Structure 1
Amino acid sequence: MRCISTRIHAMLDYVVGILLIAAPWIFNFATGGPAQSIPVILGLVALVMSLFTNYEGGLVKMIPMPVHLTIDLLSGIFLAASPWLFGFAGMVFLPHLVVGILEIAVSLCTIKAPFVSRV
């Protein structure tokens, strides 16, 4: 069931992008390596993609919403699995897993087209 508007999704994209970039320092796993770099890179990708998405939060509006949602889904799966794929689950896994699962859920629950005003 798709119940999250693209407007709310846009706000979440910017918040989660910033959170992913800051997560290694907030949750004290900024020790270098993939545990730190994966969320930072995915956060930067989320912010740039948001700027280029055709929704209420986009500035350039080049990326269609279904493409954005597919990338979010794949990003969430990758983030959630990354502690085991890259072997750092013994050090840290919960932030990656939780944010990855939330990203998957939001991508599956967001309406596929932005609201268009018919004034």
Structure 2
Amino acid sequence: MKILSPRVHGYIDYAVAALFLLAPSLFGFGGLPETLCYVLGVVHAGMTLLTAFPLGAAKLVPFPVHGGLEAAVGVFLVAAPWLFNFDEVAAARNFFLATGVAVGLVWLITDYRSAYASTAAGARYRPEDRSFS
């Protein structure tokens, strides 16, 4: 069931980026999990800014591609504690597991095609691109 609009998804994306950037301070973990959070926060914010949907600034990345990357990130987040050997750091492990599940749920309920269709239709005709030769 695709109940999440592209606009609401955009708000969630910016909130997730902020959460990644704040998580090490909020939940008290450091080291590699902290670094991963900072990298993920910056990358997530950047991807959101570049996505072709209502809250994207540059609109370079098609929204369905954004969705595919988020699906991969959700899986990565769930696996990260074991991939990077911080599964015994409870705060970091639990944060990554919860965030991975949340990103996966957002991916499941977002309508990625509606934003793509509206963006693609809007991008087909731009009066400023017309040539009068």
Same fold, TM exceeding 0.5? Answer: yes
Name the CA distance, whole Å, in 2 between partners of 1:98 and 1:14.
17
Name the CA distance, whole Å, in 2 between partners of 1:43 and 1:106.
17
**CA-CA distance at 1:111 after TM superposition:** 0.4
Match of 2:87 among 75, 86, 89: 89
**CA-CA distance at 1:108 after TM superposition:** 1.8
Q: Is the 8 A contact 1:38 1:79 kept in 2?
A: no
- Uncovered stretches (5+) of structure 1, i.e. residues with no partner: none
What is the root-mean-square deviation of aligned Cα atoms in Å? 1.2
Q: Which runs of 4+ in 1 moved over 2 A?
A: none
- Greater CA deviation, 107-116 or 92-101? 107-116
Alignment-derived partner of residue 68 in structure 1: 66
**CA-CA distance at 1:69 after TM superposition:** 0.4
- Structure with the higher helix share, 1 or 2: 2
Amino acid at match of 1:107: W
Alignment-derived partner of residue 78 in structure 2: 80
**CA-CA distance at 1:101 after TM superposition:** 0.7
**CA-CA distance at 1:57 after TM superposition:** 0.6
1:37-116 equivalent positions in 2, closer than 5 A = 37-92=35-90, 93-112=93-112, 113-114=114-115, 116=118
* 1:51-92 deviation digits (Å, cap 9, x = unpaired): 010111101111101100011111111111101111111013
**CA-CA distance at 1:17 after TM superposition:** 0.3
Q: Quick check: which has more Rg, 1 or 2?
A: 2
TM-score (normalizing by structure 2): 0.81
* 1:3-58 deviation digits (Å, cap 9, x = unpaired): 100000000000010101110111000x222x111122111111000101011110
Alignment-derived partner of residue 126 in structure 2: none
- 2:31 counterpart SS class: coil
Name the CA distance, whole Å, in 2 between partners of 1:32 and 1:87.
11
**CA-CA distance at 1:100 after TM superposition:** 0.8
TM-score (normalizing by structure 1): 0.90
- 1:89 counterpart SS class: coil
Q: Is the 8 A contact 1:53 1:63 kept in 2?
A: yes
